[in-house]
Structure 1
């Protein structure tokens, strides 16, 4: 449970005074960006944020080093494992249809937000063939029982669209308050037919020695470790969704998105609502970390020795990356740049460095650029490429991508070595 997880962290900030869910939660989370914050009274509820805001904290919980996170996730994506169905779960202890979304501790994060927003929520759905999908979706509360859900054209969108075209609704379960292996699995991009629950189960086996346990709620498997679960249905009706602050810290615009109807709420005793700060470090981690294995796999197809990939915090862990390789041929650096763009199409800027550079140290990366890069021979520019819709500088999602090859020339490697004792 989330309370037990937070108790393990020695740097949690506890806010005991009453806090409003409108903007005040945000102020505290912004003040302590890299530390977990536990609110004991957000209009009568407990709320936690910034829980998974650093690589160190995520790695420590999983029992691995920060450089191993990428391989830990890659293994789970390549080797999904069956989950275990059990008969009961703590969140089933409290069940009611008598609830109001507007009275829950769902924050209004920023002044221009369209309303209260679910931000850490994952949606679990099953298609007609029994495939179970788990994915993150922001949801803007409209009234006591409805919200607008943002669906991008991926798996849940395909499941909803198939039903909507028949005039039908899609039954789902919304879960809030989950441990990191579930959150990371919910953010991966995988082939349709590979369930994120099985990816989470593989992570659970490796980190804790046991498969993921789920309980069925009206035929939909729900992880037993969740704090809140909501039975809901996504309707064919479209309504306004937005504005909303996304990962770059800028406002996304208003769109027509599906209407969601909430029917029943479940929660554990003394639950903690997970408030994921839009544009905060925790948002970066949960959205960016699952993309690093994709970049790694793409680069490894063209350069055999790839040592690490880091999406940088300054870019929201979305638009900029650093890749560490060992060159075998001149030109490997440029091939790595192009492969990184292929592995994460939203990527806008990548720096490729040698294995002696610490990709988690911005000064070390900048030193490599300063001493091993010349713009007239080492800069790669790809104009008018499809980029990220989250980049406000892009034009209709078209962007100029650029890569820096900050690796040493193979025939002059000794000239670029740093002095050491």
Structure 2
């Protein structure tokens, strides 16, 4: 459970004094950007943030090296494994229809936010063919029992739209407070028909030697490790959602989105609400890490030896990347740039380096650019490409993408070797 996970983190910050859920949680999470923070009193509840704000902490929990996260996730996405259905879960101990979303420790993170926001919530739904989807969706609380849910046109949107066009509602389960293998699985982008719960189950098998356990909650499987679970339905009705700060730290605009009606709440004894800071390092990790295997797979199709991929914190782990390769032919660096853009269409800037450069060290990457790159020879610019809707500098969704080939020329590579002892 989340409490046991937090208690096992040596760098945990505990805030024992009462904390206001309007902005004060944000101030603490910004102060301790890369350290987990446990709030003991948020309107009488406990909350935690920055739990998974570093690669090192994620890797330690999974029992792997940080460089192995990419391959760990790629394996799970390529080899999903069945989950196990059990009879009970700790969250079933506390069940009520008498609750108010307004009274829960759901923060208002920034001054212009449209309201209290679920940011770490994942939504689980089952279609009429039995396919189970799990995905992240922010939700703006409107009143005691309703919220506006942001649905990007992907799998949950397709499920909702099919129902909405018939005037029907989509039955869902909303989970908050889950371990990292579930969160990473929920953030993956896989083909329709591949369940994120099965991706999480594969991760659980590799990290802990056991499949993911779920309970059947009125027809929909829910992970037993969830702190909070809500029975809800997404209606055809559209309401205003936003403004809201997204991963780039800038405000997203108000748009019409579906209305969610919450009907019943379940939670473990002494639950901890996961407050995921928008635009914080934890947000970066959960959005960015699942994209690195996609970039890796795309580049590996054109360059056989790919050593690593890193979406950088400076680029909000969404817009900028570094890729490490071993060239076999001149031009491999430029092909790797184009393949990286294809693997993650939101990518705006990529640097390709040789295998002797540590992609997790920004100074080494900049050194490679300084000593192995010439702008008139090694710069690629792609104009008017589809980019990220989260990039405020883009124009109507179009952006200029640029790639830097900071690899050594094959015919002169000895001249570029670093002195070593």
- TM-score (structure 1 length as normaliser): 1.00
Given the alignment of the two structures, is residue 117 of structure 1 paired with residue 114 of structure 2, yes or no? no
TM-fit CA distance, 1:223: 0.1
* d(CA) in 1 for partners of 2:376, 2:165: 53
Alignment of 1:22-101 (within 5 A): 22-101=22-101
Q: What residue is the counterpart of 2:393 in the other structure?
A: 393
Q: What residue is the counterpart of 1:141 in the other structure?
A: 141
Given the alignment of the two structures, is residue 322 of structure 1 paired with residue 288 of structure 2, yes or no? no
How many pairs does the alignment contain?
421
Q: What residue is the counterpart of 1:279 in the other structure?
A: 279
TM-fit CA distance, 1:331: 0.2
Q: What residue is the counterpart of 1:212 in the other structure?
A: 212
Given the alignment of the two structures, is residue 288 of structure 1 paired with residue 327 of structure 2, yes or no? no
TM-fit CA distance, 1:305: 0.2
Residue deviations 1:211-252, cap 9 Å, x none? 000001111000000000000000000000000000000000
Runs ≥4 residues deviating over 4 A = none
* d(CA) in 2 for partners of 1:162, 1:370: 53
Q: RMSD over aligned Cα, in angstroms? A: 0.3
Q: What residue is the counterpart of 1:343 in the other structure?
A: 343
Residue deviations 1:120-157, cap 9 Å, x none? 00000000000000000000000000000000000000
- TM-score (structure 2 length as normaliser): 1.00
Q: What residue is the counterpart of 1:233 in the other structure?
A: 233
* d(CA) in 2 for partners of 1:293, 1:312: 14
- Secondary structure of residue in 1 paired with 2:76: helix
TM-fit CA distance, 1:255: 0.3
* d(CA) in 1 for partners of 2:17, 2:201: 38
* d(CA) in 1 for partners of 2:203, 2:253: 36
Alignment of 1:350-369 (within 5 A): 350-369=350-369
Residue deviations 1:281-309, cap 9 Å, x none? 00000000000000000000000000000
**Structure 1: runs of 5 or more not aligned:** none
* d(CA) in 2 for partners of 1:290, 1:8: 25
Q: What residue is the counterpart of 1:107 in the other structure?
A: 107
Residue deviations 1:342-382, cap 9 Å, x none? 00000000000000000000000000000000000100000
Alignment of 1:162-181 (within 5 A): 162-181=162-181
* d(CA) in 1 for partners of 2:217, 2:149: 21
TM-fit CA distance, 1:272: 0.1
Q: What residue is the counterpart of 2:303 in the other structure?
A: 303
Residue deviations 1:297-332, cap 9 Å, x none? 000000000000000001110000000000000000
TM-fit CA distance, 1:90: 0.1
- Secondary structure of residue in 2 paired with 1:148: strand
Given the alignment of the two structures, is residue 312 of structure 1 paired with residue 312 of structure 2, yes or no? yes
**Structure 2: runs of 5 or more not aligned:** none
- Secondary structure of residue in 2 paired with 1:229: strand
- Secondary structure of residue in 1 paired with 2:199: helix
